Amino acid sequence: MTSGTMLYEGKAKKIFATGHPDQVLQYFKDDATAFNALKRGTILGKGVINNKVSERLFRLLEQQGVPTHFIERKSDREMLTKKVTIVPVEVVVRNVVAGSLAKRLGLKEGEPIHPPLVEWYYKNDALGDPLLSDEHVRLLNLATPEQLAQIKRLALKVNGVLQPFFGERKMILVDFKLEFGVHKEALILADEISPDTCRFWDQTTGESMDKDRFRKDMGRIEEAYQEVLRRVCG
């Protein structure tokens, strides 16, 4: 299927052109990176899992009225999507304190956050994806204030759909990162939603079921990703 020209290669995915000018193919790799690519490795089978988990979550979100770039899963590692111009703002939604938020503000990991926190990060590897205020987004011309407001509304809606979905599967949705894109002048959810881009804690044991196992060398990484697939798609 991946016969078109490669348009872009990211850390975990490649994007290929298709015969249709408005559609591209996302190919999910097993490559894993962390700490702005200072740490590199492979999580065997990750690409297949992230593709299937993303498919399930994009379908769920579409059903609930969130527009996404998802069209169809084509194979184990390939997803057909609408072609978008990515807004270079990584949107993080947080329900529980973890990761960079704990470090930056000295907050205790595991503390619930009410109401959920929405943050912007500049999608720029050379700068190390710095945290942005609304006014930085405006200064850099990354999105209009109207687009930013719409992104925030959609991000909170995604959280409102995903939190109970994972709760029913005995998982705590700690935080996650979203990317949005513009397709035919409409803002839609793009990229992926997977254990690479979310933090999930098992509701019973509190154990990490996501890329933190890779970041922190916690072991049993593949097993954790498999378990997420089982709970989400099984």
Contact flag: residue 211 with ligand UDP (CB under 6 A):
yes
Q: Please, which residues have CB within 8 angstroms of residue 84's CB and are 6 or more apart in sequence?
A: 69, 181, 182, 183, 188, 190
Q: Please, which residues have CB within 8 angstroms of residue 202's CB and are 6 or more apart in sequence?
A: 170, 171, 172, 209
Instruction: Decide: 79 and 25 in contact? Cβ < 8 Å.
Output: yes
Contact flag: residue 101 with ligand UDP (CB under 6 A):
yes
- CB of 79 vs ligand UDP, minimal distance in Å: 17
Contact flag: residue 4 with ligand UDP (CB under 6 A):
no
Binding segment for ligand UDP among 37-45, 50-58, 156-164, 174-182 (CB under 6 A)? 174-182
Of the pair 17, 156, the CB lying nearest ligand UDP is at 156
Looking up tokens 């590897």 gives: 125
Considering only residues 111 to 170 of the shown chain, the ones binding ligand UDP according to CB under 6 A are 129
Instruction: Decide: 25 and 1 in contact? Cβ < 8 Å.
Output: yes
- CB of 191 vs ligand UDP, minimal distance in Å: 9
Contact flag: residue 31 with ligand UDP (CB under 6 A):
no
d(C-alpha 57, C-alpha 200), whole Å: 14
Q: Applying CB under 6 A, which residues contact ligand UDP?
A: 90, 92, 98-101, 129, 175-177, 197-199, 211
